[in-house]
A = this chain, B = another copy of it.
């Protein structure tokens, strides 16, 4: 399995589409990750996925050949190092509000001398090659989540941290933090201004910006606007959306709404 950085992939295509796995299970992960996504993120934060399940699911992503990433639940050394040691090629971390937190995140995810990640990549060395230890710092993706007003305020400090190669915006949490409506249909204008600010700061520094779209139309808008890492909803939404469409269409046609 050749390890290409997200940056290289984006260089080729202009953006990457990221699939979110929120259901536990190595087979739903395998099936979902074979749907054309450029990378797949296991969501250990809001997904029903704990540490042991994440390990299994990372193997499934290896089986499907997709680039594996993880979102962890908190800025916690043990789980960040564990998903990397299990084969994740990056980590998205929620609630990074300051440069100091971003610095801590990088330190957990990078080997010395840049960081303090502990040595012992048994599975990565096997699947990515024996030089993993030397090269991992170059391609491990570190994405702080910007999802509070405080983080927006501190965005320059956050992106200035060496080793941060992307920012993931949590638009719902950001809206709540700003005391604005979550906006299922459209992003609240004030929230959107904050997002735009983050986006522009990042674009200047050639930092990837990611955000989750609700559907394909929104995903296109995001890409056109400059987002390079775009998720589209998640595995369980894909499954239930289609199933409800089937059931609803038949029941409606048969007069059972």
Contacts and interface: CB of A to CB of B under 8 A. Distances in A.
A232 B247 contact: yes
A42 B133 CA distance: 23
Copies in the complex: 6
A113 B175 CA distance: 11
A112 interface: yes
Contacts of A170: 118-119
A65 to B, nearest CB: 9
Interface string A15-58: 10101001111111011101111000000011111111111100
A249 interface: yes
26 contacts: A17-B250, A22-B122, A24-B55, A26-B59, A31-B239, A32-B243, A35-B244, A35-B247, A36-B243, A36-B251, A37-B247, A45-B82, A50-B82, A59-B60, A74-B77, A95-B116, A112-B177, A118-B147, A119-B173, A216-B246, A219-B246, A219-B250, A220-B249, A232-B243, A235-B239, A238-B238
Interface string A234-248: 111111111111111
Given A32-B239, A59-B60, A239-B28, A46 B120 contact: yes
B50 A50 contact: yes
A14 interface: yes
B48 A123 contact: yes
A104 B174 CA distance: 20
A250 B78 contact: no
Chain A interface, >50% SS class: helix
Interface in A53-88: 53-56, 59-60, 62-63, 72-74, 76-79, 81-82, 85-86
Contacts of A34: 126, 240
Contact of A236 (B50, B122, B245): B122
A122 to B, nearest CB: 6
A54 B54 CA distance: 15
Contacts of A132: none
Contacts of A13: 256
A34 B170 CA distance: 27
Contacts of A166: none
Contacts of A233: 246
A179 interface: yes
A195 interface: no
Contact of A32 (B53, B219, B240, B250): B240
Contacts of A31: 23, 126, 236, 239-240
